[in-house]
């Protein structure tokens, strides 16, 4: 069975990171539930799909082996995609216990505090994962943290860098006024900061990190979309719905319309027929293309090589010809 890295100490999609050594595994080891996309039992159709075995920490990595429920058809479908490489990532559901804004724990690109202690609640197989995309965190009382732009997340607050004291060169001279106005060409307004999920007065470093994270997500989404479109087009070629020479055209069409729309379009298209098959079907369906069925008046007129086939395939005709030949009913036919 394939193992998976469930979590590391890299900066995740929330702009935070989780210290692996601080993850408490004791509760999860008593109930090592494996979910699909972090869906819980109260959601329609959501049930555990298996469990995680051989859970362990190696360095800064949390590693385990997914084992799928063989009595669950949906779980077996996920297992098939997992074993064949169509799904490759898992994600940890963690309940935060303790966080720290300590600058010594902050990595480049980090915008939120570091989770120093946490509790593993569940592990999920996910379609898009990795610490920077798939990690889900739970705040106090098991409430799922919503860390989208503009959402308040008191359990995982943003890092706040204090303003440095002015240097002697920056102190206002005698008779000079202190100018507290920010340069409008470099300072971001409150609305822009809110869209980035940052507080008013966030530093340039935080804004840059948030923009870089946004770009990374957009690039990954575009890459995944292109992969889905390409797979859809290649499948249509294999099913002979389009020609291989049309591949680039339909890939561009899929990038504009989306993979779902492209797949729906291909579903309406019949498979193309080879010219040789068309000619054969035309000949077979043409008027007069087949020989007219032969008709006999009595059994002796039937060629010897056709008697056995007639007896097996047309017993009623055989019995009619027999009676015409001998003037009496034909005995019951046996195999």
On whether both 252 and 304 belong to a single domain, the answer is no
Who contacts 118 (Cβ-Cβ below 8 Å, separation ≥6)? Answer: 18, 22, 23, 24, 94, 95, 96, 97, 98, 137
- DSSP, collapsed to helix, strand or coil, labels residue 17 as strand
Distance from C-alpha of 181 to C-alpha of 199, rounded to nearest angstrom: 18
Residue 3 burial (10 A CB sphere; 0-12, 13-18, 19+): middle
Is residue 269 within 8 Å of residue 241, measured between CB atoms?
yes
On whether both 33 and 146 belong to a single domain, the answer is yes
On whether both 260 and 304 belong to a single domain, the answer is no
Who contacts 164 (Cβ-Cβ below 8 Å, separation ≥6)? Answer: none
Residue 169 pLDDT exceeds 80: no
On whether both 146 and 204 belong to a single domain, the answer is no
Residue 284 pLDDT exceeds 60: no
Show the beta-strand stretches assigned E in the chain: 4-7, 17-18, 23-24, 33-36, 50-58, 61-68, 89-100, 114-126, 136-138
How many domains is the chain built from?
3
Query: Between 191 and 291, where is the model more confident?
Result: 191
> Is residue 276 domain-resident?
no
On whether both 263 and 313 belong to a single domain, the answer is no
Is residue 93 within 8 Å of residue 122, measured between CB atoms?
yes
Domain that holds residue 236: 195-267
Of the chain, the percentage scoring pLDDT greater than 90 comes to 10
DSSP string, 19-30: -GGGEE-HHHHH
* Two structure tokens written together for 222: 């575009």
> Is residue 160 domain-resident?
no
Tens-place pLDDT, residues 107-133: 888 888 899 998 998 898 888 764 544
Of 230, 246, 267, which residue is a domain's last?
267
């Amino acid at each position: 069975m394939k193992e998976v890295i469930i979590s590391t100490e890299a900066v995740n999609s929330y702009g935070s990171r989780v210290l692996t050594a601080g993850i408490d595994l004791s509760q999860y080891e008593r109930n090592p539930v494996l979910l699909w996309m972090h869906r819980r039992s109260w959601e329609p159709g959501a049930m555990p799909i298996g469990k995680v075995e051989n859970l362990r920490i190696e360095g800064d990595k949390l590693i385990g082996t997914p084992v799928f429920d063989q009595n669950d058809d949906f779980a077996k479908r996920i297992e098939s995609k997992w074993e064949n490489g169509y799904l490759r990532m898992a994600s940890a559901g963690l309940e935060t216990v303790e966080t720290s804004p300590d600058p010594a724990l902050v990595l480049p690109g980090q915008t939120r505090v570091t989770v120093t202690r946490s509790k593993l609640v569940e592990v999920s197989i996910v379609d898009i994962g990795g610490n920077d995309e798939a990690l889900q965190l739970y705040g106090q009382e098991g409430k799922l943290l919503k860390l989208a732009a503009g959402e308040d997340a008191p359990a995982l607050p943003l890092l706040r860098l204090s303003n440095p004291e002015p240097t002697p060169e920056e102190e206002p001279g005698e008779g000079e006024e202190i100018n507290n106005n920010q340069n409008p060409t470099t300072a971001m307004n409150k609305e822009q900061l809110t869209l980035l999920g940052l507080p008013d007065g966030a530093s340039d470093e935080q804004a840059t990190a948030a923009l870089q994270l946004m770009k990374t997500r957009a690039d990954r989404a575009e890459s995944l979309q292109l992969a889905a479109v390409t797979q859809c087009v290649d499948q249509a070629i294999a099913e002979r719905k389009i020609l291989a020479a049309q591949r680039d055209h339909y890939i561009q069409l899929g990038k504009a319309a989306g993979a779902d729309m492209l797949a729906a379009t291909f579903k309406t298209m019949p498979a193309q027929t080879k010219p040789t098959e068309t000619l054969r079907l035309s000949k077979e369906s043409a008027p007069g293309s087949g020989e007219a069925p032969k008709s006999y008046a009595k059994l002796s007129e039937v060629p010897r090589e056709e008697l056995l086939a007639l007896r097996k395939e047309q017993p009623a005709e055989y019995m009619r010809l027999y009676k015409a030949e001998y003037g009496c009913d034909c005995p019951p036919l046996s195999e």
